[in-house]
Amino acid sequence: MNLSSEQLHQLIKNKIKQAGLSDEHADIVADVLVFADARGVHSHGAVRVEYYSERISKGGINANPQFTYEETGPCSALYDGDNGAGHVIAKNAMDKAIKMANSKGVAVIGVKRMSHSGALGYFTKHAAEQGLIAISMCQSDPMVVPFGGSEVYYGTNPIAFSAPGPDGKTINFDMATTIQAWGKVLDARSRNQSIPDTWAVDSDGHPTSDPHAVRALLPIAGPKGYGLMMMVDILSGVMLGLPFGKNVSSMYDDLTEGRNLGQLHIVINPEFFTTKEYFIESISQTMKELGEIRPAPGFDKVLYPGQNSDLIEAKSRKDGIEIVDEVYDYLISEHTYINSYDHKSAFNG
């Protein structure tokens, strides 16, 4: 099914409101999910709505959270989300970080007690569009075998980075510390597609191309991805006094309980380190020089990070966003949720 951004946004918002969120919070959740779908990151788009709706309905996402914000130093703060919608909490905390970085040059804000917040690139790009550099990282479900191990310990623990460029353009880098994000496996399941056998392993530890047989994901670049996911866990979990490693709550274990996840936003104002003109000119030159590099066989052009997603988004905003029929049917149905996720294994959910 092909939908305009506005149509998809309204369908998602309606379903999230039906589950119990306020109009304002549902609007933010829908905005983050449409951003992902429009950029081709369907793993973090509308495919997630039923899960969110079930968790909201059962109380595991607080529909009426009481947010608190405490500055803990000249350039640091803690934002407590009271287990509300993660998308709303992450955006609010990023807005605080943007304000702090604008006045103080640097902002480091730890976000506590939140739920899943979707595509991290949404929040870092939001800062870059205001002339700032942003890094964000967060914990996720234990579903990755550490390098050399045969049992899961860390989550996909993603990292996003964005920087401002010329004429409103931004550089954007958003990655899981696994070879592929879990949401990509979910997307493959919804589309009845196979996956590369380098993404994950089955219950016996063997590589699998069947998304339904996945029982653990693999870290990107072996020990390097393993080290990065440990870094994310320390900065967004241990440092914030939250559960860490295999103790991070499962996305599906009990949808009546808050997940108490952690996230870290780091925002830097480049004008505190160089001139705005030099920074933007240098990013512009970087983009231009990368585009002029002779492409390797099989490639048409070297793209800077995020450029391909920008092209996909521009096309999606013009021609519509393709949503699989199963997801569309749910969005237009009368059901708030179909009880698909509660007390399921992360890999069976």
**Average pLDDT, consecutive stretches of 10 residues, N- to C-terminus, the chain (349 residues):** 96 98 98 97 94 97 98 98 98 98 98 97 98 97 90 95 97 94 83 92 89 93 96 98 96 94 98 98 98 97 98 96 95 94 75
The closest of 111, 110, 103 to 86, measured between CA atoms, is 111
Sign of CA dihedral 260, 214, 175, 144: positive
265 is catalytic: no
pTM of structure: 0.94
Q: Which residue has the tokens 């946004």?
A: 9
Q: Which tokens hold the place of 281? A: 């000119």
Highest CATH level, class, for 2-274+309-332: alpha beta
Q: Note whether 107 and 75 are within 8 A (CB).
A: yes
DSSP per residue over 171-235, as a string? EEEEE-SBSS-HHHHHHHHHTT----TTSEE-TTS-B-S-GGG--EE-BTTTHHHHHHHHHHHHH
Cα separation, 136 vs 175, whole angstroms: 11
pLDDT of residue 259: 95
Segment 225-260, tens digit of pLDDT: 999 999 999 999 999 999 999 999 999 889 999 999
Q: Domain coordinates of the chain in residue numbers? A: 2-274+309-332
Beta-ladder partners of 164 = 170
E strands, the chain, where?
2-3, 68-73, 76-80, 106-114, 133-138, 159-164, 170-175, 200-201, 216-217, 261-268, 321-322
Q: Which of 9, 116, 126, 265 is catalytic?
A: 116
Cα–Cα dist 13/9, whole Å:
6
